[in-house]
């Protein structure tokens, strides 16, 4: 069995070493210990953690029409708007979905916790809008936005960036990369609902007129 060192495990999970140790302290991940007391991680252990995290990030009342049920070329019922919520904190994902679900019944949701998962979900779930929070590696957020906006097949997707209160530089960078709106934490519920409502209603009007 090939075991990874702590830094290798953190890279595999796309988190920092500090986050990896915080995950361990919460009892969500238990590494092996060498005779010298060093941490070692198996791929099976890390993959199991990733799967558990993915399941926790899905809302308790998630729609049965989730990404697993999407067929190639499938058309959505009139008025349905798919929203991808991306953040590496499951509680944040759940809060955003709960907040938006209270504002409209036409939304359907999928989630992602890393930039890599965002790319996968964009192609599989085909969202109309992405709420892009703190995903790992966070330095790739601009790259993800640029790829989405520069691709003719995905350029129509609206993106709402969520940034921390001390990330003013990130706000400017994300807007340059094509983000349609940027909200600052702590999130104001009405502000988030208003932003998503406005951006998705614009798409609906464009689709209807087209």
pLDDT band at 2 (very low <50, low <70, confident <90, very high): low
- Rg (C-alpha) for the chain, rounded Å, is 18
Report the pLDDT value the prediction gives residue 61, as an integer from 0 to 100.
41
Which residues, at least 6 apart from 204, have a Cβ–Cβ distance to it below 8 Å?
79, 81
pLDDT band at 210 (very low <50, low <70, confident <90, very high): very low
Summarised one tens digit per residue, pLDDT across range 18-33 is: 888 888 888 888 888 8
Report the pLDDT value the prediction gives residue 167, as an integer from 0 to 100.
66
203 vs 169: CA distance, rounded Å:
28
Which SS3 state, helix, strand or coil, does residue 176 take?
helix
Task: Inform me whether the pLDDT recorded for 68 exceeds 60.
Answer: no
Report the pLDDT value the prediction gives residue 140, as an integer from 0 to 100.
78
Please, what is the Cα angle at 67 between 62 and 70, to 5 degrees? 120
Summarised one tens digit per residue, pLDDT across range 91-104 is: 899 999 999 999 98
Which residues, at least 6 apart from 192, have a Cβ–Cβ distance to it below 8 Å?
96, 99, 100, 131, 160, 183
What domains lie within the chain, and their CATH numbers?
A: 3-56 (1.10.1660.10), 79-209 (3.40.50.2300)
Report the pLDDT value the prediction gives residue 36, as an integer from 0 to 100.
78
Report the pLDDT value the prediction gives residue 11, as an integer from 0 to 100.
81
Burial 105-122 (b: 16+ CB within 10 A, else e): eebbbbbbbbbebbbebb
> What is the pTM (predicted TM-score) of this model?
0.62
Summarised one tens digit per residue, pLDDT across range 164-176 is: 876 667 888 888 8
Burial 141-165 (b: 16+ CB within 10 A, else e): bbebbebbbeeeebeebbbbbbbee
């Amino acid at each position: 069995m090939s075991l990874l060192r702590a830094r290798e495990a953190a890279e595999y999970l796309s988190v920092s070493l500090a986050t990896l140790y915080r995950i361990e302290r919460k009892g969500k991940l238990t590494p092996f210990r060498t005779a010298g007391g060093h941490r070692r991680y198996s791929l099976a252990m890390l993959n199991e953690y990733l799967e558990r995290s993915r399941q926790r990030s899905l809302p308790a009342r998630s729609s049965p029409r989730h990404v697993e049920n999407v067929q190639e070329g499938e058309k959505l019922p009139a008025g349905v708007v798919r929203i991808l919520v991306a953040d590496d904190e499951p509680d944040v994902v759940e809060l955003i979905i709960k907040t938006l679900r209270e504002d409209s019944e036409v939304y359907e949701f999928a989630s992602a916790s890393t930039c890599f998962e965002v790319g996968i979900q964009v192609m599989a779930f085909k969202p109309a809008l992405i709420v892009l929070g703190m995903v790992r590696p966070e330095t790739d957020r601009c790259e993800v936005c640029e790829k989405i906006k520069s691709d003719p097949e995905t350029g129509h997707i609206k993106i709402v960036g969520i940034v921390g209160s001390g990330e003013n530089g990130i706000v400017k960078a994300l807007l340059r990369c094509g983000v349609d709106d940027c909200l600052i934490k702590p999130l104001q519920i009405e502000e988030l609902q208003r932003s998503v409502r406005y951006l998705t209603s614009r798409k609906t009007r464009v689709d209807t007129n087209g």
